[in-house]
Amino acid sequence: MTRALITGITGQDGLYLAELLVSKGYEVFGLIRGQNNPKYDLVRTTVPEVTLLTGDLTDVSGLVRVLGIAQPDEVYNLGAISYVAYSWENAALTSDVTGKGVLNIIEATRLYAGDDISKVRFYQASSSEMFGKVQEVPQRESTLLWPRSPYGVAKVFGHYMTINYRESYGMHASSGILFNHESPRRGPEFVTRKISQSVARIKLGLQDQLVLGNLDAKRDWGFAGDYVDAMWRMLQQPVGDDYVVATGETHSIREALDVAFRTIGVDDWSPYVGQDPRFMRPAEVDLLIGDASKAHDVLGWTPRVGFEELITMMVENDLREQSDLSR
């Protein structure tokens, strides 16, 4: 039985990846932080097969202990402070967790491997936010990185540290440069879920207005369930490498609003949507669009869920969830 350790198991991707690996017959271990994590029960009910181990990406000694117990063949580092807007207000914490946390877990992984570095493979959850002020359209593996937030800067550190462990120690370490991916499990702080939840609540008469920031930013949005499959495929290759994972389509926040409101039968959403500088960012990433040809050619990966289907799926899920909650 292949054994895998996932950090960030309580997050959107952690749950999808755990389900995927369990379905492939893996023995899965998940790192969970805090003494009474509120998402403990969610993980237990979603993927009861997973063994949860307590630890934190900022605590190397705990990570060494967890690796010793899990004895993984594959380590997926998905844990991070992942909310870009929050990273300006918590820059040092973001650097510690999202940046230095990568060094902590990859070093703990190297120590666990000991003299046989080939006994473990490592995945780092890198991000299209590393492209920031984009230097090339579309963005590919070789595009110059120009991060625009403390989060993006921290991810660049983790990305290069992963490459450095591959080059210095011959570790099978891969960095997946994933573009935005969403799902009904997306945290409500992110724009697609904020839109889908609010649209559902407006339809049900539970809310009047949706207040957003920049409506003109463009993102390459895919479905999280498709993207965790790309992570797994990276670790099945003979050697570690870096891969862009994206749909190759970009859409604005306005277009996401068009689709979401259409799902509830509203063509003109302007009376329902307001803007507030509170949700604007000190520096914006205006346009992201990825070229995933390498992932397609080498990993045989293609996204299955398109933009309209994704947003519609999220609104329909929130209509069910919100009407259950309001009963």
Which residues make beta-bridge pairs with 53? Answer: 31
187 binds ligand NDP (CB under 6 A): yes
Residues numbered 166 to 185 that lie near ligand GDR (CB under 6 A) are: 179-180
Give phi and psi for 324, each to the nearest 5: -65, -45
Catalytic residue among 87, 95, 127, 183: 127
- 16 assigned to active site: no
- 151 assigned to active site: yes
95 binds ligand GDR (CB under 6 A): no
Q: Do 177 and 159 meet the contact criterion of CB atoms below 8 Å apart?
A: yes
CA 79 to chain centre: 9
- Distance between the two ends of the chain, CA-based, in angstroms? 44
Piece in contact with ligand GDR (CB under 6 A), picked from 67-75, 127-135, 196-204, 236-244: 127-135
Identity of the residue, 221 or 269, whose beta carbon is nearer to ligand NDP in the bound complex: 221
Name the closest residue to ligand NDP (Cβ): 11
Whole-Å CA distances, 87 to 25, 81, 150, 191, 311: 37, 8, 6, 16, 26
Q: Do 225 and 305 meet the contact criterion of CB atoms below 8 Å apart?
A: yes
Query: What count of residues does the chain have?
Result: 327
Whole-Å CA distances, 138 to 132, 143, 262, 268: 12, 9, 29, 31
| CA-wise closest residue to 4 among 107, 109, 102, 98 | 109
Give phi and psi for 257, each to the nearest 5: -65, -40
Catalytic residue among 123, 129, 165, 198: 129
Catalytic residue among 123, 151, 165, 243: 151
**Of 4, 26, 29, 33, the one binding ligand NDP by CB under 6 A:** 33
Is 16 in a helix, a strand, or coil?
helix
Q: Mask 70-109, x = binds ligand NDP (CB under 6 A)?
A: --------xxxxx--------------x------------
Give phi and psi for 51, each to the nearest 5: -95, 125
Identity of the residue, 120 or 288, whose beta carbon is nearer to ligand NDP in the bound complex: 288
Cβ-based neighbour number of residue 34 at 10 Å: 11
Piece in contact with ligand NDP (CB under 6 A), picked from 160-168, 178-186, 210-218, 236-244: 178-186
| CA-wise closest residue to 57 among 80, 39, 75, 28 | 80
234 contact, one of ligand GDR, ligand NDP, none, CB 5-8 Å limit per kind: none
281 binds ligand GDR (CB under 6 A): yes
213 contact, one of ligand GDR, ligand NDP, none, CB 5-8 Å limit per kind: ligand GDR
Give phi and psi for 161, each to the nearest 5: -65, -40
> How many residues of this chain interact with ligand GDR, rule: CB under 6 A?
22
Distance (Å, rounded) from C-alpha 81 to C-alpha 58? 12
**Of 12, 94, 174, 247, the one binding ligand NDP by CB under 6 A:** 12
291 contact, one of ligand NDP, ligand GDR, none, CB 5-8 Å limit per kind: none
56 contact, one of ligand NDP, ligand GDR, none, CB 5-8 Å limit per kind: ligand NDP
Handedness of CA 229, 235, 238, 239 (dihedral sign): positive
Residues numbered 189 to 228 that lie near ligand GDR (CB under 6 A) are: 189-191, 194, 212-214, 217, 219
Q: Mask 42-71, x = binds ligand NDP (CB under 6 A)?
A: --------------xxx-------------
127 binds ligand NDP (CB under 6 A): yes
- 95 assigned to active site: no
- Kind and range of the H or E run holding 212: strand 210-212
Binding site for ligand GDR (CB under 6 A): 82, 84-85, 127-129, 179-180, 189-191, 194, 212-214, 217, 219, 253, 279, 281, 284-285
